[in-house]
Structure 1
Amino acid sequence: MQKLTSTSFFAIIIGLLFINQAAIGQEKKPLTLDDYGQWNSIRNTSISPNGLWMTYSYNPNDGDSKLHIRKIDGDTVRTAINGKQVDFSMDNQWLAYLVDPAEKEAEKLKKQGKPTSSNLELFNLASNKVSNVENASSFSFSEASNYIAIQKNPSDRKAEHKGSDLILKSLKDDKTLNIGNVSSYAFNKKGTLFAYLVDADGDNGNGLYIIDLSNNRSWPLHTGAFSYSQMTWNEEGNQLAVLFGTTKEGNVERDNTLYWASNLTSGMSNFNTQNTYSVSDDSSFPEDMVISEYSRLTWNEKNTQLYFGVRAQEKELKKDDELKANVDVWHWKDERVQSVQMVQAGRDRRSTYTAVLNLGNKKFIQMENEDMPNVSYSDKSQWAMGQNNTKYRNDVTIPGNYADIYSVNTQTGEKKLITERVYWKLGLSPNGEWTLFSRDGEVFGYNFGTGKTTNMTEKAGVNFQNEDYDTPVEKPTYGVAGWSKDGKWLLLNNKYDVWAISLTSNEAKNITQGMGDEEEIRFRLTQLDPEEEDYDLKQPLLLSAYGEWTKKSGYYSVEMGKKPKALRYEDSMIGRPTKAKDANKLIFTEQTFVDFPDYYVADLTFKNPKKITDANPQQANYKWGKRVLVDYTDQRGNKLQATLALPADYEAGKKYPMVMYFYEKMSQRHHQYSMPTYDDRPHMSTYASNGYLVLMPDIVFDEGKPGSSALDDVTSAAKEVIKLGYADPERIGLQGHSWGGYESSFIVTQTDMFAAVVTGAPLTNLISMYNIAYKQSGSLNGPIIEWSQGRMGVSPWENMELYQYQSPLFHAQNIKTPFLLLHGTADGAVDWNQGLEFYSAARRLGKEVIMLSYPDEPHHLGKEDNQKDFQIRMKQYFDHYLKGAPAPLWMTQGIPNADKKRVGPEVMEGNK
């Protein structure tokens, strides 16, 4: 046996000390609110057309963002503080972006009452050189990448004229042209011509101008003492249209004339094919109406029509004619209640009816009007689909989406009834030959040319109705997947599979060969080219894939007649890919509860993806939990799932305190990263880091029983987690906000199985909630409660007892659990008085209730200081009731209003 010497003994002791110190240095910390500031989100992502370059910015919760410009196969070559609105030139030689002032500089300017402005940086990717343009507001590259146009902010931002300086810069020889008083600009698609509008002080030089970029020669196409707007090129870039006009004294609306120029090509000596359409020359144009500058001009594909908006002319209301009283008349015949009219007043001042001008014969057709306020048109055909809702709009006993639909001939103005009383309108085909609608789960196609309606889904012989749709209106289908490029097939979604329905025969094909139904994978078509409107069925198709019960996701490829093949299908959440325009390169995100959604790059096979970003390396220093799926069945027999976050130091067999967070279905968030950020919800990462379980269960609803349904599913999920040995049944808390706030408020009145409840912006009295307005939109809440998220299916006047039974307020006497209310006084979704009613009733009944009321805050807290305050208080509340931590002063005694600025949530009982 070897003898241990004193020297070797001391060496071992020192070694153990070093090991111990290293272990201490590597010990991970629990995540706290103080750590949130360093967490980054990713924005401003783009990939160059050739797939060799990428941009992304790291945006921290606290501080300035940093834009990164890097080679995908190399390193970052440049960074910029607060860079945004990035764009690559099509020749891959240039990158342009705007840069905002640093946060401290912006605050300084704000205190001085000075405006902040952005600078433009133009970066040469080959030479790594950058040039700057100060005070820039926007920019645009030409398609040919030979020019960039840079708009500057106006020198006087309060000036009546809209024009400001514009720099037109040649990227080939670095020459610049400065143009003054530009209000709008655009290159044609080929990048050979540049058009702009001038709007100057006193209308001096106002007009439409064009520059031939082959020789920098400038041409005034139309000038005069007018206001010009809505300049638009056609697709080919050889025709240009604009509105010009003036506002006569005493009128409100501008009297506009339509101008268009044709045969515009680079190198020509003059532009002489010009036309105008003046409403005063057309007896068919509606009297007392104008062509409006509030609606954009749109060319059809054949360049034979221009679409625009019209609206009624109004006379200015003179001061002496104004009614001195200030009164709003709420009448039972109002199609839009007064509160809606108030909210939409600004929109109403700019609302228009869609019209079309046939350029060959200058035939004007107004397609939309008061009876038919919605018309969808195609730029590829002469047909449009109009919705007439006059028979339904005043019927307050039915949902508000019904309409009779018509075909509209945009060349003749003829309107023909397609069908009556349609709830689900499914749009037009890309070629404009078909319009779709569904009825009772079946999809019907109307062919404009033949005037015939065909039941498309009966060809497949399967059910396309979304049976899981649980609001009390007509059930929809799973939607339109797309159309074939050859115009012969309609593509429809089933629950899991994608079908092709022939437009010329009774044939139907299951594109995904039934694999979706077999494996319960939801397949959906994915288009990589944002300019494509249809799918080439002769080529492999890209499918997104989502496992209904596994929560796996990714992408498959499928060819007609063959089984889908997995490209990348992982136990994670894979984001929608973005393809480089001219290369077979993709960028996409991939995330789990543990892994932030960083960006990866791969080829079109998704194989061997390379990680590009690393936004939050500091996470390695903190304790982080993980998630598991929990299957459960509620008392009504519904098979459901929940996602359960386990504590960072989870030990099997040990029972933990648990917070439950819910809304409707939540298990689809199983692989969603829990981003530490300032808001008014519990962050699963933080609670898991601090020794909690966090359960997010699915909730499905029975008509007329939203509260009872939530009670069933939340308690069923909790019982299953208790049964599995995870949760301590004596230490479970609930948190829900808005609709989740309604659910948590109802549950606290029905059971005492939970130790504490935090309810945010809750609906608590469905009767009073039904009869007030949703302030953000002005709409009355009745339709929301009856036919939408409320799912009651009847009005209170038809079943008052049911409304009382499903309202938390009417069960307040049963509350046995302490609960915390959050509500902002300026809540535009759930009125603050809903929270007050519940607090008042609970207080009168002697219940343990605290209401945190944040003055002037909306439905979700918007001010960072208030967000942090609530995060602290919510955590203290759960820590006390679920972990036994000491209660702070605001919980034990409350805070006098006079002291609210002096006593923060960090003050513990006894420490005043």
Structure 2
Amino acid sequence: MKHLLLLCLFSLFASLLFSQNKKPIDHADVHRWRKIEQQKLSNNGQWALWAQTPVSEGDATLHLWNATSGATRVFPRSTEAQFSDDSKWLVFKIKPALDTLKALRRKKVKDEDLPKDTLGILDLANGKLEKISRLKNFSLPEKWSGWLAFQVEMEKPAAPKKDTAAVKPDTSKTVIVPPPPLKEGEGAAKKKTPKKEDKDNGYRLIVRNLPKGFQDTIAYVKEFALAKRGPRLLLHTTGKGDTLPFAANANALQNGVYLIDLEPYNLRPLLRAKGKFQQLSLDDFGRQAAFVADLDTTKARVRPWQLRYWKMDQDSAKIIAGPQSDFLPKPQPSQQPQPSQQPQQWNISENARPVFSDDASKLYFGAAPPAILNDTTLLKEEIVDVEVWAWNDKLLYTQEEMRLENEKKRSYPVVFHIRQNRFVSLGSPQLPELRFQEERNANLALGILEEPYTQYITSEGTPHKDLFAVNLETGDKKMIVKDLRCNPRLSPAGKYIAWWSDPDTAWFAWNAGTGSIARLTDNRTVPFFDEESDVPDYPSEHGIAAWLEGDEAMLIYDKYDLWKIDPEGKKKPQRVTNGRASKTIYRYIKLDPEERSIRRNAPLLLHKFNDLTKSEGYTWLNLPQENTSDLGAFVPFLKEKWEDGYAYTRNLLKARYDGVFLYSRENYATFPNLIYASADVGEKLVSNANPQQAEYNWGSIEMVEWTSLTGEKIKGLLVKPEGFDPKKQYPMIVNFYERLSDELNRHRAPDFHRSQINYTVYTSRGYLVFAPDIPYRIGYPGESAYDAIMSGVTSLISKGFVDSKRVALQGHSWGGYQAAYLVTRTNLFTCAEAGAPVANMTSAYGGIRWESGLNRAFQYEHQQSRIGGTLWEKPKQYIENSPLFALDKVETPLLILSNDKDGAVPWYQGIELFTGLRRLGKPAWLLNYNDEPHWPVKIQNRVDFQKRMQQFFDHYLMAAPEPSWMKRGVPPMEKGILQGF
């Protein structure tokens, strides 16, 4: 007993000593943290795989864990791993060390001379690893095994060594006599120039039988494709070369497309000719092939692309479609091209890959409209460079410009009914968008037409559309409904088209058999719309979870529950979970990536989230059968997963052939390491990505609640430093966006965030972090933020542990706008950082979101900015909600982030804010990371931003010395040289 007491006292002392030795997280420490990515399970469930990658930059490591031995094998600098379908092999890329690449680049080594990727082939049975250098790419079959295809590039020939032997100089005079001319047939043969391996000529393709070790090499392969379910490979080679050691059957290859039967191994030509070949495609079992070809040897600018097709009983790939095909639209007589006019001939698309239906009965490909050709006789200085914007254009010029490259490659679907040898044209400029059932077996497609309503996008941001049912047998197009705001879905079996109607806040379905439309839901029992919507628009749907097999029923969501819905609208909607009573949100987890519908009696894995405690877990659901109770019977997942204070990933993995799962759980203090679960092993933690976390101060998080200035109960998150003492006073940073309290149990690993503070970094250094939820009132977004944030801050100050003289704001984008607004309304805050803020809603309203080309008006009229009307309808609200018009009231030093390539918020908004404060003599700084978008993306810029933001807050809240960049800026002469830290 005495010894036990001494042991306990020693353990307590060691724990206290360790706690005292913990340190704050500095920027140099952040580089130690790793993320877990690329999680995989082998199909037999015996192997778990993941990559650990630095949060900043550096080399990834692959981790391979075995369920039988419990051992983990680590592969440095490795990534993009794939298991073979039979779970016997692991194939992955090994990257050159990043430090090595940087060192060589500093020595001005050319890119082509830098180290290349290496292929790793691991035999999982014996652990033997083979490495193959100079890898370009690799491919494993999806649904069969035993073979691997990969491409490599040849070694660059070494430069000939110079003869450095000492030679005595010859001081005698030398007379140079030219040799006599060679007679015909004399002399050495002219040395052939090696054919270069590159993206135009192709690279070596190696096809290897993994268990037997047999392999073949095919030279200069530009493109290849493996069949999904059968042992066949399709390839295009640009022809043999005379300088590579080829296999016996490879040295006779000419430019063309070839098919390899892998079992037994046999290579056969499908088409050998001069020309271009691309968009190779095989059906699932490799019994049919298709590709597009251009065999024209002229220099015609409009290329006559052909569609070539092969099946098992053919010796070669035949032309089945070309520019003269009957199904292509023909120009009208009045539109026949004249010498000065553009061509009118349609063509087979070179940009659309042919696709076979799963049942191999149909081949889909693209028809391309006539190209618009430029005048090649004009000199560059003769070309007029002007944009013409017209008020009655369907789309803004900027939107058209953003879509330009896609429009140049646009094609319209055509289906070839293989057994009937018949083509049906499906799409056209009059119906440009078609959606097909995933297997593409059904004879129904969904047609969508937005063109009559495109101008609505400017004001609403949401496109209206007409819906059509397209018959794949005949090409007939039947309008289903006009002018909908919705995201329509085609059912998996092709029997229904379902949609959510915004104005009706209800689900509807069109029956392909009867042509009738049924309303499926109303909102009398429960609301099926977003109950928390606070934007000036129709509330949105909660979505479809899945369809039952044969399109028997839809599973849809309300806020909390799943509902079984009859797509014909004849049966009453049936609730199959009971989440609303306990405020628990249930959501379906799709375990099979290829699942298209749910078998009628199959159990469903659900993720659950309690809206009150924010705790999460998993459970199984058996769908109720006919004439049973409304509630499904829950069955255990090993044991039901539900733990207060934890979040569980929705990206859970299941092995294909065994009841094995890989998932993660997390909370503020617990990193989401991977957990392997099976009946044999139980549950086992298999990763430990960040053991160094124990060395640092971390802190804790809790939910807080208060009453707003308008009398509303509001929640928020309060993050406290480790060793928090309520009798002390702490500096506090208020970080916000809209609603963040649902993230209570999310882990926040140190990272160089692109837009906000890292909670754990700041709390480890003695800060409090407060994240309030913000409920909004339409027309008053700024005041809504003021009411929620100010009431929350004053509530915390009243508790005594917040130093009211050391409170700061930090927000980005919408949060940046709110930060800028708040400093015009109160002088409570010691300092503030506003990232990508809107300062002037009147000028931002007419601006452009350059990443999409959209005018910004819609977000004020209908979406996040929440004004609820046009600038001319509500000028007062635009002005009152704009910080720019009240900058004379600002007393808070402000740090602004506004990048010159911001595609969401025009960066001149940050300039207006900065120049206004500067004109008024208010302390302000603006950071512009050149050529960066809405936030810094490059790692060096993210590190720089986080350093400057921390120095800014440390100066005002921790009395740290003012850095040089705050005292005097960083002049252009010093840019990129002296950072001013």
TM-score (structure 2 length as normaliser): 0.85
Structure of larger gyration radius:
2
- In the alignment, is residue 408 of structure 1 matched against residue 470 of structure 2? yes
Shift of 1:236: 4.2
Separation in structure 1 between the aligned mates of residue 414 and residue 42 of structure 2, nearest angstrom: 39
Please name the residue that 1:595 is paired with: 670
**Aligned 8 A contact 1:839 1:851 in 2:** yes
Separation in structure 2 between the aligned mates of residue 339 and residue 257 of structure 1, nearest angstrom: 34
Change (3 A) 1:863 1:479: closer
**Aligned 8 A contact 1:485 1:537 in 2:** yes
Q: Secondary structure at the match of 2:305?
A: strand
Shift of 1:523: 0.4
Separation in structure 2 between the aligned mates of residue 201 and residue 839 of structure 1, nearest angstrom: 63
**Aligned 8 A contact 2:230 2:285 in 1:** no
Change (3 A) 1:634 1:401: farther
Please name the residue that 1:353 is paired with: 412
Counterpart AA for 1:297: P
Shift of 1:538: 1.1
User: Is the deviation greater in 164-173 or in 371-380?
Assistant: 371-380
Separation in structure 1 between the aligned mates of residue 298 and residue 401 of structure 2, nearest angstrom: 27
Q: Percent identity?
A: 29
Shift of 1:57: 2.2
What CA RMSD, in Å, does the superposition of the two structures yield over aligned residues? 2.9
Question: CA-to-partner distance for each residue in 1:317-351, whole Å, 9 max, x for gaps?
Answer: 23324652221112223323232333333222222
Please name the residue that 1:245 is paired with: 294
Please name the residue that 2:353 is paired with: 296
Shift of 1:498: 0.2
Please name the residue that 1:113 is paired with: 110
**Aligned 8 A contact 2:461 2:859 in 1:** no
- In the alignment, is residue 487 of structure 1 matched against residue 551 of structure 2? yes
- In the alignment, is residue 54 of structure 1 matched against residue 48 of structure 2? yes
Change (3 A) 1:370 1:585: same
Q: 1:189 aligns with which of 228, 241, 244?
A: 228
- In the alignment, is residue 283 of structure 1 matched against residue 326 of structure 2? yes
Separation in structure 2 between the aligned mates of residue 235 and residue 900 of structure 1, nearest angstrom: 56
Question: CA-to-partner distance for each residue in 1:469-508, whole Å, 9 max, x for gaps?
Answer: 3333322221111100142111110110000012356324
- In the alignment, is residue 39 of structure 1 matched against residue 88 of structure 2? no
**Aligned 8 A contact 1:648 1:690 in 2:** no
Change (3 A) 1:500 1:298: same
Please name the residue that 1:610 is paired with: 684
Separation in structure 2 between the aligned mates of residue 259 and residue 377 of structure 1, nearest angstrom: 23
- In the alignment, is residue 527 of structure 1 matched against residue 590 of structure 2? yes
Please name the residue that 2:202 is paired with: 163
User: Is the deviation greater in 516-525 or in 752-761?
Assistant: 752-761
Separation in structure 1 between the aligned mates of residue 524 and residue 435 of structure 2, nearest angstrom: 28
Counterpart AA for 2:477: K
Please name the residue that 1:568 is paired with: 641
- In the alignment, is residue 145 of structure 1 matched against residue 142 of structure 2? no
Q: 1:550 aligns with which of 613, 623, 628?
A: 613
Q: Which runs of 5+ in 1 are unaligned?
A: 1-11, 265-269, 907-912
User: Is the deviation greater in 431-440 or in 206-215?
Assistant: 206-215
Please name the residue that 1:394 is paired with: 455
Change (3 A) 1:120 1:406: same
**Aligned 8 A contact 2:64 2:72 in 1:** yes
- In the alignment, is residue 669 of structure 1 matched against residue 743 of structure 2? yes
Question: CA-to-partner distance for each residue in 1:754-794, whole Å, 9 max, x for gaps?
Answer: 22111111111112112222222222222233333223222
Please name the residue that 2:183 is paired with: none
Q: 1:83 aligns with which of 78, 92, 99?
A: 78
User: Is the deviation greater in 292-301 or in 340-349?
Assistant: 340-349
Separation in structure 2 between the aligned mates of residue 21 and residue 334 of structure 1, nearest angstrom: 71
Separation in structure 2 between the aligned mates of residue 219 and residue 702 of structure 1, nearest angstrom: 70
Shift of 1:163: 2.3
Separation in structure 1 between the aligned mates of residue 839 and residue 769 of structure 2, nearest angstrom: 25
**Aligned 8 A contact 1:424 1:476 in 2:** no
- In the alignment, is residue 657 of structure 1 matched against residue 731 of structure 2? yes
Counterpart AA for 2:38: N
**Aligned 8 A contact 2:402 2:852 in 1:** yes
Separation in structure 1 between the aligned mates of residue 204 and residue 881 of structure 2, nearest angstrom: 61
**Aligned 8 A contact 2:270 2:316 in 1:** no
TM-score (structure 1 length as normaliser): 0.91
Shift of 1:356: 2.2
Alignment of 1:356-505 (within 5 A): 356-378=415-437, 379-395=440-456, 396-439=458-501, 440-458=504-522, 461-503=525-567
Shift of 1:557: 1.0
Change (3 A) 1:182 1:897: closer
**Aligned 8 A contact 2:291 2:353 in 1:** no
Shift of 1:44: 2.9
Change (3 A) 1:490 1:27: same
Separation in structure 1 between the aligned mates of residue 325 and residue 972 of structure 2, nearest angstrom: 68
- In the alignment, is residue 93 of structure 1 matched against residue 167 of structure 2? no
Counterpart AA for 1:394: Q
Question: CA-to-partner distance for each residue in 1:133-171, whole Å, 9 max, x for gaps?
Answer: 212122222343211111224888885635221100111
Separation in structure 1 between the aligned mates of residue 494 and residue 807 of structure 2, nearest angstrom: 56
**Aligned 8 A contact 2:33 2:750 in 1:** yes
Q: Secondary structure at the match of 2:400?
A: helix
Please name the residue that 2:172 is paired with: none
Counterpart AA for 1:309: G
Change (3 A) 1:718 1:25: closer
**Aligned 8 A contact 1:557 1:565 in 2:** yes
Q: Secondary structure at the match of 1:319?
A: coil
Shift of 1:218: 1.3
Question: CA-to-partner distance for each residue in 1:704-724, whole Å, 9 max, x for gaps?
Answer: 322222222222332333344
Q: 1:216 aligns with which of 243, 265, 277?
A: 265
Question: CA-to-partner distance for each residue in 1:101-155, whole Å, 9 max, x for gaps?
Answer: 0012222443301235211010111121111221212222234321111122488
Counterpart AA for 1:402: H
Shift of 1:310: 1.9
Counterpart AA for 2:307: L
Q: 2:708 aligns with which of 616, 625, 634?
A: 634
Change (3 A) 1:546 1:22: closer
Change (3 A) 1:164 1:549: same
Change (3 A) 1:174 1:302: closer
User: Is the deviation greater in 552-561 or in 310-319?
Assistant: 310-319
Change (3 A) 1:557 1:346: same
Counterpart AA for 1:462: V
Alignment of 1:512-523 (within 5 A): 512-513=576-577, 515-523=578-586
Q: Which runs of 5+ in 2 are unaligned?
A: 1-5, 156-194, 242-251, 331-344, 625-631
Change (3 A) 1:635 1:506: farther
Question: CA-to-partner distance for each residue in 1:37-63, whole Å, 9 max, x for gaps?
Answer: 111112232221111112222222353
- In the alignment, is residue 622 of structure 1 matched against residue 617 of structure 2? no
Please name the residue that 1:4 is paired with: none
**Aligned 8 A contact 1:121 1:130 in 2:** yes
Separation in structure 2 between the aligned mates of residue 315 and residue 856 of structure 1, nearest angstrom: 32
Please name the residue that 1:7 is paired with: none
Paired residues in the alignment total 884
Change (3 A) 1:532 1:726: farther
Separation in structure 2 between the aligned mates of residue 221 and residue 503 of structure 1, nearest angstrom: 46
